[in-house]
Structure 1
Amino acid sequence: MKNRRDQRWLLAFSLIELMAVTAIVTSIPAAQYAKAQQKAHQIECGSNLQQIGVSITAYQTGENKFPDAVFYPDKPFEDPKSICKILENSGAGIPKEMWICPAAPDSLKQRGMTFVYNDSFAGRQSLPNPSKAWLLIEVNCVSKKVPPPHPQGYNILFADGHVMATNRLPASITSKQQASLEQLRRDVEGHRLASLFLKDTPSSDAR
């Protein structure tokens, strides 16, 4: 019974993070995203993700697990559960600018990180199908109200180290996240979390 309650709370907090990120990206005017549709930005962003992928692979090999990081940290270079901070502490030496897509609006760049981490793999030793398992994806993906950052959509880093630009988002970002988000709304109805995260939050449409 305790394990089941713990799992529900872990799911709730993960989804609350999703809702918080959605509120961030939807607060930025769409026009600020539209100006960024440039192929050069897509290539640079993809190259950055590939280099981050090399560091994640090195971490996974050395620690025998994937980074135990959160979906999207509030302070990427201070939060000990941030993928940025975890890799920094491991000696990866990733320049801070690599965590920012050049196509992102300035107001989003100021947050220090424009990618979300697949926290469902946090702390796991291995994955059954790494070429299909996404690790990092551009933060725009959390809402239908926000356009993709590149001409070919979103850059996605997979667990085998390859990066793909596509308009087709992973199922965990689309159907599963949306279904879970709706379940969270039902589960926390009447709870204090509802007043903190749902009452004044714009409609959150995970892709």
Structure 2
Amino acid sequence: MRFVCSAALLSVILSAAISAVFSASPALAQEEGEEMEEVTGQQVDGWIRLESDGESHEFMTVSFLFDTVRVGTASVADGALTGNETIVAVSGGQEPDGSGPFFHLAFGWPGEGAQPVLKPEITWYPAGQQPPFFASLLASPPEVTVTRYAFDGQAGAISGSFSGRVCSVTDWDQEEPDAALCRDVTGAFETKLNPAF
């Protein structure tokens, strides 16, 4: 499957998913540097590898039990939630609690008879989830190739690769990344999937 498949809706879904995973438990909301309490059912679900400017960056996807539901940083929102479009978010940090460098990849594909609405999107926070960071441009979205996908409504798995260009964002109020300050990125991912929270 190849998706050359945006951004306002993806950003909302992605932000909500990441916030839910890393703030649903008081243990995850602690300040950086404090020792974390054990999180119920926390596990590493997979990996993301990012290559840029000759450097390799590794991230992990994680999940934990929130009440009786497993939630994670790699998730699927099906057409019932999104208007006949499946949206996959694969996000991960270099630390299990989400502190430090973080990477988000989101993409989707339409259901039968629907037109694609969303384009793939990359957001890369090299120094934690705050500016400055890098994001893909709406006008030139990254390409995502899915090599394996399975999801039964409760659990699944996905693997694939991505390539594209990300540009600098220096302020939260900046409407678009700076197209004059960009870098090429490529990478791959393999992870378990959970339902979007």
TM-score normalised per structure 2: 0.34
> Higher helix fraction: Structure 1 or Structure 2?
1
TM-score, normalised via structure 1 length? 0.33
More strand by share: 2
Structure with bigger gyration radius: 1
